[in-house]
Structure 1
């Protein structure tokens, strides 16, 4: 794990299946989608480039996912209007569309789907990994006196994903 946090180049973790020929063996062949976690609050050019290149190379679809949570202040509000949540999802969906558009033009052969959801990004990426050939996550480059640091989403996906995981340092 220390290699993942100590380098600026992509690192891919591939687990050895208990029974590689069994039904739970990894499906890394063509057709298995590439799943990428996107964060609209971070520059993720390197993450998206890696994910699109892999999907193009494999000839498979790409699914981009973005999770969001309500600000902590909303926990004190006695009710939350469902129309507000729909407006938030609509706005975030447009932001993800805008983020993906340049790569869709660069990689017109890649079938791209995306999903914006309320909840833990890590949980959703782990769930999505069950049908994926590869999961691509970004990580912030944190340098501190205590050493490099791996974010909570990348950490959870590395430990729990069913598919191989590519960890790409953010720009």
Structure 2
């Protein structure tokens, strides 16, 4: 997916906006002490580091592509649909799943296809 996005941005001479969303597991009790806010604050640097590590080889390979990095806590579909506003294209991944009939996309990819304001490119990956 990143390979496709960087190659397309390089080919068309445009920038790339990379969005990484993450979430902490749901807590099924009242958050009386504000623990969820503390957990999110502690997890945010790790999520950002994960994004930076994933992008490092691609930014080296495509130094002419300007990259805007966004790391958000929340639901990926909402963030991707909002990020598609004003975009030329939205690129999402699809795991290769062995199905008896047809190709199946995951819930996030399916929702992005239906809610994106930009054309969507679905790139299979392992």
Q: Normalised by the size of structure 2, how large is the TM-score?
A: 0.90
Which of 51, 71, 95 in structure 2 is aligned with 1:96? Answer: 51
Pairing 1:68–2:17 present: no
Query: Looking at both structures, which has the greater relative contact order when contacts are Cα pairs under 8 Å and sequence separation is at least 6?
Result: 1
Structure with more helix by fraction: 2
In 1, the alpha carbon distance for the partners of 2:30 and 2:96 equals: 35
In 2, the alpha carbon distance for the partners of 1:158 and 1:89 equals: 27
Bigger Cα displacement from structure 2, 77-86 vs 150-159: 77-86
In 1, the alpha carbon distance for the partners of 2:69 and 2:28 equals: 28
Partners of 2:88 and 2:118 within 8 A in 1: yes
Where 2:35 maps in the other structure, the secondary structure is coil
Where 2:19 maps in the other structure, the secondary structure is strand
Q: Using the TM superposition, give the Cα deviation of residue 62 of structure 1 relative to its aligned residue in structure 2, in angstroms.
A: 0.7
Q: Structure 2 matches for 1:4-15, cutoff 5 A?
A: none
Encode CA deviations 1:86-121: one digit per residue, 9 max, x unaligned: 221111101110000000000000011111111111
In 2, the alpha carbon distance for the partners of 1:77 and 1:97 equals: 34
Residue 32 of structure 1: aligned partner: none
Q: What runs of 5+ residues in structure 2 fail to find an aligned partner?
A: none
Aligned length: 124
Q: Using the TM superposition, give the Cα deviation of residue 66 of structure 1 relative to its aligned residue in structure 2, in angstroms.
A: 1.1
Q: Using the TM superposition, give the Cα deviation of residue 83 of structure 1 relative to its aligned residue in structure 2, in angstroms.
A: 3.2
In 2, the alpha carbon distance for the partners of 1:75 and 1:140 equals: 30
